[in-house]
Amino acid sequence: MKTDLNHYTIVKIGGSLFTWKNFKHSLKGWLESQRAKPLILIAGGGLLADQIRYLQTIHEFDDHQAHWQAIQTLSLSARFVHDLLPHLKWIDNLDQVNEKDGHYIFDCRNWLEQTDPLPHSWEVTSDSIAAKLAIDYRMNGLILLKSVPLPKSDSVDWHQLAQRQMIDQYFAKIVETDSCQNRLSIDWVNLRDWQEIP
C-alpha cells in the first residue's frame, strides 16, 4: 500500500544547477518562498551522471549497467543538496514522510531498485524519474527546477523540448499517458533567473 502523498509536490532539481555559484542561495530562497507547500525534492545526476556516459563510450558497458551506475549518482546528488541545506529532511523511503507538510530531500535509489519502473537507457533521466514518482503516488504536482527558461508558447510541447535537450526523451511518454493527462500539474522554474516577488 502506497503512502498517501497526494498533497505533496515533487520538485526535480536539475543537476546543471550544481556548478552554479549562487545555487545554494537561490535554492534556499526559492524553498522559503514555497514554505507553505509540502515538497519532496529529487536531485538530478548532473556532472556525475555525465561521467557515466563518458565512461560508457570508453569501456563499452551496456545501457543496463550504465542505468544503475547513473542511479547511484542520484544518491550522491541528494547528499550534496542535503549538505548544502541541512534543514531539509533526509529520506530514502517515502514511508518516512510522516508530516502533513514540510520539505524533504529524497534519495530515490531504493525506490528505483525495488520497483524498477522505467527503461534502462539514456532516454530516461531524473526528469522521467520525478514524473513517474509523481504519477505513481498521485501527487499534487511536479516542479522542474532548470537552468534555462521555458520557451514562450501557448502550450508546452514536451517532445519539442526533448529534441532541444531541455528534458529527457522519455518524459513526454510518461506525462501524456491517460493516467495523468489533465491531472498532473507541471511547472517549470528557471532557478537562475528566479527572484522572489516582494
Residue-wise pLDDT for 77-132, tens only, equals 999 999 999 999 999 999 999 877 799 999 999 999 999 999 999 999 999 999 99
In a domain, 35, yes or no: yes
Q: Which domain holds residue 30?
A: 9-193
CATH number of the domain that 90 lies in? 3.40.1160.10
Residue 196: per-residue pLDDT:
65
In a domain, 4, yes or no: no
DSSP secondary structure of 65-131? HHHHHHHHHHHHHHHHHHHH-TTSEEESSGGG--SSS-EEEE-THHHHHHH--S-SSTT--HHHHHH
Number of domains within the chain: 1
Residue 118: per-residue pLDDT:
96
In a domain, 1, yes or no: no
In a domain, 3, yes or no: no
The pTM of the full predicted model, rounded to 2 decimals, is: 0.94
Residue-wise pLDDT for 14-35, tens only, equals 999 999 999 999 999 999 999 9
With contact defined as beta carbons under 8 Å apart, do 134 and 179 qualify? no
In a domain, 64, yes or no: yes
Q: What is the β-pairing status of strands 185-190 and 9-13?
A: unpaired
In a domain, 54, yes or no: yes
Which residue in 22, 26, 19, 2 sits closest to 145, CA to CA?
26
Phi then psi dihedrals of residue 28, to 5 deg: -60, -45
Residue-wise pLDDT for 144-172, tens only, equals 999 999 988 878 899 999 999 999 999 99
Between 184 and 195, whose confidence is greater?
184
In a domain, 77, yes or no: yes
Cα separation, 182 vs 86, whole angstroms? 35
